[in-house]
Structure 1
Amino acid sequence: MKKILAGILCGLLCFIVFISYRVKVYGAQVDNSQKFTTAEDIKNKRIGVLLGSVQDDYAMKHYPNATILQYKSVSDVVVALKSKKIDAAFYTRETMMEILRNDKSMEFLEKNIYENPIGMGFNKNNTKLLEDFNGFLKKIKSNGVYDDMVKRWITDGSQSMPKIVNKENNGTLVIGIVSDKGLPFTTVKDGKMVGFDVEMAQRFAAELGKKLVFSDMEFGSLIAAVSANKIDMITSTLVITEERKKKINFSDSYYKLGAGIVVLKENLAKYDAETKQEVGKQSFIKSIGDSFYNNIILENRYMLIIDGLKITIIIASLAVIFGTILGMLICFMRMSGNSFLSNIASVYIAILRGTPMLVFLMLIFYVFFASVNIDPVLAAVIAFGMNFAAYASEMFRTAILSIDKGQQEAGIAAGFTKIETFLYIIMPQAIKQVLPVYKGEVISVLKSTSIVGYIAVQDLTKAGDIIRSRTFDAFFPLIMVAIIYFVISWLLTVLLDYMGRKIDPRSRKRFKNKNKIIY
């Protein structure tokens, strides 16, 4: 049996990798007969932007006839362009310049559409920290440190962090950041964040003598996080706009960020078809080998996967344990004769089952625990556990009600108390009834944890996103993460099936007979 399952898994892996390779090589078959010369040529095309960015707003206003596709990370935008899901990528000029240093398949259609000042973001009530940063910014601009940073990161394309001494004797500074924003501002290399914004944050923390803690989250969550005091400040190439000023305070501008439009080089009118890269000539084996090395081995990226996997397992395991215990309590309240307790349980179940998990997770972290300095992992455990409890309680209730009432009456008639009757007669049978459904819900919780990146938790899915932000490989990281989830789900299924056989002797006997060799 194990050999068969292993063979199926290997076959599935090979099939998915082969399909991804074919898609990667040939791309989407789209008619690109119209070549681009200026930004005006994409007015009715498909334009990819970062969700919530100023480019998003600009594209909506200036390209009303275009199809604007919003993505949650720059790596998603670039991957969409390379796989021909969009015709043009509209994003930060400096980040695109860094990407084009290493990828010759793309080129600027327009390099400088406009420039916007960027600054650090602060809570409206934290004016002291804002003043400290503005003073620090003036200091490094006057002593040449700032100019050196601009030269190294933006002009020369450096990827190495300088050594910055920090005494760390004055508390902690929590800074919200987007790790897959892209160089020259922020990325992950050898398991550590590097970039212009990262160095700026480290130098500021050292100036204050505070221990620096990065809170890595989705771009769209940054302003909500600093407004709710979950972080002390934002450093993520945040463009200063009037709308954002209503929510947070901005520091003095520390850079003017450009915006550019990038297209595939083959779609430019000036492009010489004879110089087109023949990607299809690369062998299948070499392509897979290169993808494995770039996504797993290079810069020890496998450590991101290992660390993310640990977080995923911790959140899922604790959420199931907490949710099971809470579910039992909700089930007891729902089945009690007290109408007040029963109504509370019914309302709880209705609300939790009717609220999308992502929305509930955000509410728990940014609203219910707004004034509490809670660890995002703990917040995730509470959110997933409460959601799991709503479903588990109904599973338990249905299983208990499925047991014939005559058995309870017989137990009491035999001299058992109500509690003893439930523990020794009803509950063992209910567990056997509920286990198959419970198993599916546990696996569902495991897969649902993939959204915890929205509250700055670096789980397995977030690790895959970080790797994609460095390699811009559309397929390998996603397939790798999908396979890992599949393997964990399969192992969970095997474990829960084993528990079911231990609980039910008849099931154990059927399993032995099924696997018995007949001569």
Structure 2
Amino acid sequence: MKKKIGLLLAMLAALVMMVGVFGNPTQVQAADNSLAKIQKKGVLVMGTSPDYPPYEFQATVKGKSAVVGMDVKIGEKVAKDLGVKLKIKSMSFDSLLVALQTGKIDMIISGMNPTPARRKNVDFTHTYYKGGYEIVINKTDKGKYKNKDSFSGGTLGAQTGTTQYNAAKKQTKNTKVKGMTSQSDLILALQSHKLDGVAMEKPSAEAYVSNNKQLAAIPSDFSMSSSATSSAIAFRKGSTSLVNKVNKTVDQIKKENLVKKEYLPAAGKYLKTNTVNTSMGHYWKAFLTGIEYTLIITVCSVFFGFIIGVLLALARLAKGNFLKSLLRWIATAYVEFIRGTPMMVQVMFVYFGLGLFVNLPALTSGIIAISLNSGAYVAEYIRGGINSVDIGQTEAARSLGMSNGETMRFVVLPQALKNIWPSLGNEFITLIKDSSIVSIIGVTELIYQSNIVRSDTYRGVAPIVVIMVLYFVLTFTASRILNYFERKMQHA
């Protein structure tokens, strides 16, 4: 599943680039004023994947969860030198390049290696850090594994889209390489023995090992180029003036050795703080925030999805002249297309694809995508409900002098709604669970918050158990409320 997500994101990135090139031919020429644009805007949006300590990770700061780490310090330094404010936007590592190309973020600082393949699509600054790779294993297997060649016949994991993932694919023999979008997921898979080892950069490996006594790190012995083991800041292609300005900051950071003197030690303090209290009760605010956003997405999507569904159902039932036939064809095509494509792709398209033209926030994009998806299914429920109403009801209403619109509004739709209420209830329950999909674009619903807690505490299973219970409470409560109204309708 994770590999499919990476493939879908890669395909979306290619589509976005094609649309950008053909739909906006002035983009490259206008890109050289990138520095002036940022300074005029007054805000520099940094994209990062905060599951990669000590580069970037979640920590509790003054009672609130925040993104911290070495890369965040670098981002703050860059923003300060540019004279603007820094805004951090979290998302999966796979999504960062797409987000940069579609203008959702202004730069990427996420331990990204400036490989030749990436340089074709984005501009990189000078490198600010050079590290290496290690493989994290369960401490009980320390005598079994020595390096990458020891995993023959086993399974090695790595974060999709990273250079270590590509190296594991190319430089191991008889080894199954499994990619996941999150380091937290990889560590969980390792501890549950779904993986035999996880390849990651040396500082990250040391961070996980130092905070989890059940883990150990071994040399990877990957043969890597200098660009594949270094980290740099990525900007949109053609951002020459902005890159040149930020290069001065990067050069100063390297000259004064700020990474080793200040940034890494500061990250280490947060790593130690994270493990002081790892109880799930300590993170109740994070879970409460997740419930809040889950309910917002669900309620809004149900409301707009129902409206869209009614309109589509009526359009599909339209008969008569050419215009009504055209509406019926469009509605049918829409329903079939939406039902025939994954919701995950639809969410990414609304957020990244439409982001080329309209800069929609992640939450808004998620609500729009889920509403559009739900509307297609609700339309079929309503169409079936309308068809289930006896034709005699319509004839009786018309004989009383009601118009077609009045008959549909006061006679047919109320009876259809009563017939399809269980199906609509199931759709509502499904949307509560499907809202988790929007976590891929950084919406802070339950799944997103559970990942934050896992990054904070280095505990893999406990946060998952908590959100399973929370989802059950939400769905069970909703089903009881829906059943109450269903009984009311039956006795009406």
The TM-score bracket by the shorter chain reads: 0.5 to 0.7
How far 1:313 moved relative to its partner? 0.8
1:294 aligns with 2:294: no
CA separation in 2, counterparts of 1:494 and 1:80? 35
- In structure 2, give the amino acid aligned to 1:82: Q
Counterpart Cα distance in 2 of 1:327 and 1:139: 57
SS in 2 for 1:149: helix
The residue that corresponds to 1:336 in the other structure is 318
User: Equivalent residue for 2:332?
Assistant: 346
Contact preservation (8 Å) 2:152, 2:172 = yes
- Offset at residue 150 of structure 1 (A): 4.4
Would you say the 8 A contact 1:141–1:147 is kept in 2?
no
Provide the identity percentage.
27
1:158 aligns with 2:269: yes
2:104 matched residue in structure 1: none
Q: 1:44 to 1:459 in 2, by over 3 A?
A: same
Paired residues of 1:319 and 1:388 also in contact (CA < 8 A): yes
Instruction: Give the aligned length.
Output: 345
Query: Which residue pairs with 2:308 in the alignment?
Result: 326
Instruction: Tell me the equivalent position of 2:152.
Output: 43
Cα offset, 1:43, TM superposition: 2.9
Q: Classify the secondary structure of the residue corresponding to 2:370.
A: helix
Contact 1:50-1:77 within 8 A present in 2 as well: yes
Q: Which amino acid aligns with 2:372?
A: M
Does residue 1:305 correspond to 2:287, yes or no?
Answer: yes
CA spacing shift, 1:436–1:384, aligned 2, 3 Å: same
Q: Aligned ranges for residues 392-471 of structure 1 at < 5 Å?
A: 392-471=378-457
**Counterpart selection for 2:252 from 135, 139, 145:** 139
Q: What is the alpha-carbon distance in structure 2 between the residues aligned to residue 341 and residue 410 of structure 1?
A: 28
For the structure 1 residues 419 and 458, does the alpha-carbon distance in structure 2 shift closer, same or farther, using more than 3 Å as the test?
A: same
Q: Structure 1 residues 189 and 371, CA, compared in 2 at 3 Å: closer, same or farther?
A: farther
Distance in 2 (alpha carbons) for counterparts of 1:443 and 1:400: 22
- Whole-Å Cα distance in 2 between the matches of residues 311 and 375 of structure 1? 14
Partner of 1:58: 167
Native 8 Å contact 2:209 2:215 kept in 1? yes
Q: Name the TM-score, length of structure 1 as normaliser.
A: 0.62
2:302 corresponds to 1:316: no
Q: Report if aligned partners of 1:93, 1:112 keep a CA contact under 8 Å in 2.
A: no
Q: 1:72 to 1:133 in 2, by over 3 A?
A: same
Tell me what 1:108 maps to. 217
Change (3 A) 1:430 1:141: same
Retained in 1: the 8 A contact 2:147–2:220?
Answer: no
Q: Which runs of 5+ in 2 are unaligned?
A: 1-139
Which digits, 9 at most, give the CA deviation of each residue in 1:437-487, with x for residues without a partner?
111011111111111121121211011111112323232111111111111
AA aligned to 1:334 is R
Secondary structure of 1:76 counterpart: helix
Structure 1 or 2, whichever has the larger Rg, is 1
| Counterpart position of 1:87 | 196
Where do 5+ consecutive residues of structure 1 fail to align?
1-30, 160-182, 191-289, 507-519
Whole-angstrom CA distance in 1 between matches of 2:209 and 2:306: 51
SS at match of 1:69: strand
Shift in CA distance, 37/96, structure 1 to aligned 2, threshold 3 Å: closer
- In the alignment, does 2:473 pair up with 1:491? no
**Whole-angstrom distance in 2 between the partners of 1:136 and 1:420:** 69
Secondary structure of the structure 2 residue equivalent to 1:480: helix
Q: Supply the AA of the counterpart residue of 2:232.
A: G
Distance 1:130 1:321, change over 3 A: same
Match of 1:271 in 2: none
**Separation (CA, whole Å) in 1 of partners of 2:317 and 2:327:** 9
The aligned amino acid for 1:158 is K
Alignment of 1:363 onto 2:349: yes
